[in-house]
Structure 1
Amino acid sequence: MAVRTNRGPGAAAENRAALLAAAREVFSEQGARAPLSAIARTAGVGQAVLYRHFPTREAIAMAVFDQNMEAVEELAARPDARLREVTDLITHQIEGSAAVIALFAVDEEAPAQRELTRRIRLALQPVLERATAAGEVRRDATLDDLMLAVGLVTAVITTTPPAARHARAAASWRLLMDGLAPR
């Protein structure tokens, strides 16, 4: 893609959105260590624009995760959102971000990781409560149980070759949801 004409600060939001979309694509295709220049090129911006928005690889990867989290929060906030819908969205996002998850998974105590964990817990709590009230999960199922399930599926996805990820994730959720189902 050709570099677009510099339209100045007015294009900042559009450039940021293009960079995030490109990061998803490039990281998915080339892995977490893909050259950042490939992201800029795919977004159709210069590297200076990339570094102005995202000074490090971790910054752009975290911004992708932040977008993912916003989508989960938005879905989970809907009163009609079902647990399966939310876990399907989370799974889809993990599948698409598997290459960069390793950048953050090494330190659960890192501030950025703690913030993502806090946000996902807040988003999942009311969804789990609704699922429990509807009899979709056991009454003794806890948020920690659900977070463990998400962590297990994440581990399966990130250690499975891309072509088999979706099937393995679906099989994992079937087993995990059977374990959370009312007896």
Structure 2
Amino acid sequence: MTRRLSDEPPAGNHGRKVATRNRAALIAAARDIYAEHGLDAPLSAIARRAGVGQGVLYRHFPDRAAVVTAVLEENVRQVEQAAMAEGSDIERILGVLTWHVTESTAFLGILPAQGAASRSGAPAYAAALSESVEQAVRARLSDDHRLAARPDDLMIAIAMVSGAVTGPTREHRERRARAAWRLLGVAVGPVQPYEE
């Protein structure tokens, strides 16, 4: 019988802490790779960027759709957290939303999906995530804000800004997003991810 000399996990088995860290690294890497190379980028590139093997990627995400969904869910989670944060205002929330639009190619496709899911064939999860974004932003939108004038104005504006987000670099895409918000007459806070 082999005796363990310490309570530490055996080498190579660091448990949930490493698994959580690996999953977060894979999502961040996927966001970067998708922004650089599109949604058809090889999954091996995501694993390499995250600093893990492909086996670790597949342990967390069985296929490409699962990776894209995880990135989308993380984007939506951050927008929701920004909306729920004490002292948060619509400008800050739109800044976080804009960061995700400029940083995450995967996010662009879901935002207009809410109203068009049945017409466009958008997956149900995309419509649900889009609706979550709308609810989070609308929760901090005052009745007199220009995006609250009509029920569809908020998501139409977000779709218009999303459509303007093109270009080779994140900085270029951010400039275009800011210009689109400016043309819509909407103030946006710092374009950055939500930090707890």
Q: Normalising to structure 2: TM-score of the pair? A: 0.74
| Partner of residue 181, structure 1 | none
Q: Distance in 1 between matches of 2:25 and 2:146?
A: 43
**Aligned to 1:49, which of 56, 65, 80?**
56
Matched, 1:165 2:173: yes
Give CA-to-partner distance per residue, 1:95-134, whole Å, 9 cap, x none.
Answer: 1112x346657883411111111211220122113xx3xx
Q: Distance in 2 between matches of 1:166 and 1:139?
A: 20
| Partner of residue 6, structure 2 | none
| Partner of residue 134, structure 2 | 121
Per the alignment, do residues 103 and 49 of structure 1 end up closer, same or farther by CA in structure 2, a change over 3 Å counting?
farther
Q: CA deviation at 1:8?
A: 5.9
Q: Distance in 2 between matches of 1:101 and 1:140?
A: 23
Aligned positions of 1:109-148 closer than 5 A: 109-129=122-142, 132=143, 135=144, 137-138=145-146, 141-148=149-156
| Partner of residue 13, structure 2 | 7
| Partner of residue 190, structure 2 | none
**Aligned to 1:26, which of 23, 33, 52?**
33
Q: Is the 8 A contact 1:32 1:103 kept in 2?
A: no
Q: CA deviation at 1:143?
A: 4.4
Letter in 1 for 2:130: T
Q: Distance in 2 between matches of 1:18 and 1:140?
A: 37
Runs (5+) with no aligned partner, structure 1: 179-183
**Aligned to 2:161, which of 153, 158, 161?**
153
Q: Distance in 2 between matches of 1:140 and 1:89?
A: 19
Q: Is the 8 A contact 2:26 2:57 kept in 1?
A: yes
Q: Distance in 2 between matches of 1:140 and 1:122?
A: 12
SS in 2 for 1:177: coil
SS in 1 for 2:25: helix
| Identity rate, percent | 38
Matched, 1:72 2:85: no
Q: Is the 8 A contact 1:26 1:38 kept in 2?
A: yes
Q: Distance in 2 between matches of 1:160 and 1:41?
A: 25
Q: Which has the higher helix share?
A: 1
SS in 1 for 2:52: coil
| Partner of residue 95, structure 1 | 102
